[in-house]
Structure 1
Amino acid sequence: MFWKVWSSRLNLPIPRPLKSSEKFNVSPGDKNVYLLSHMNSQCAKIFETLINSVSYQKNVKSANLKTEWEALNNSYLNTNKWVHRRFAEHADDLQINEMYEMLNLSFPPPNFFDFTIGSHLKSEIKKNFIDFLREEELIEGRYVDKYEADL
């Protein structure tokens, strides 16, 4: 359906499939995603502690730590997530299990993937995605209805 719409809207032929079926953005399994969430939480907590640390922030104002703080502030929260993501994607079972043991984790609880979104975000999704699909008739209405019902 995607390529059919793409082809008709842009007046271009449907692209031929790639010869390789290699995935470029692999989704880690549930166990790996749970580990990833804990690693990200730890780093956020570590950085939050530095931001709120009176003694560290006092020392940051001195010349010898100012450069360090600027480097941490500009890079830490951006790069650590990539390191964690790649670990979750590429670590083997033994390495994942070792990290689970190190962090004292057990398998994700059944409700780990349950989440809710706020009314403002729901409204934005409806306005900018669902209503757009409906108005432009890019896909069958029954799918748009399902997206809206599931929202």
Structure 2
Amino acid sequence: MTRTNRPRYRGALTLTAFRPRQKPGNTTDFKENTMSVTLTDQNKATLRTAAYGAVSLLAAASGAPHKAATAGTAALYSATGTVGHVLAAKSKDIKLDGKTVAELADQVLPALTESMHLLGQLDPAEAENFRGTIRTAIEAATAEIEPSPTATQIAGKITAALSA
């Protein structure tokens, strides 16, 4: 039995069949990377410092900092909305100076509170989105490490700063 209907090559699939057909002159209105909230560069830097600082703070307080940082950062990259666009942008404006957990906390916790107040004034839905993103990052980071009293205490302080 021969298979004559089968093509001789595999994997050569053209995607032209999947493109929607457009009539000449028919254009669609589509805006890429639209954000519902307009943020200044300083506001974006504050959001990034708060989010990545929270993950760094939790990682510094854990027994396995690399696992916690990797899982928490992956959770931040999965954010959506305006917060997702801000966190996914490649920038070098995250300034986290400090050699101890206390010095890091002195920068991160006020940045979290400031970010929540800022987003709460501009768009309450984005403030909730930010809060949920940080909580997801905390849960992801703590799921990868053994629960310790130190990591639990830091996670509680981060949550309190989000609610302040």
Higher relative contact order (CA 8 A, sep 6+): 2
Length-normalised TM-score, structure 2: 0.27
Identify the structure with the greater helix proportion: 1
Length-normalised TM-score, structure 1: 0.29
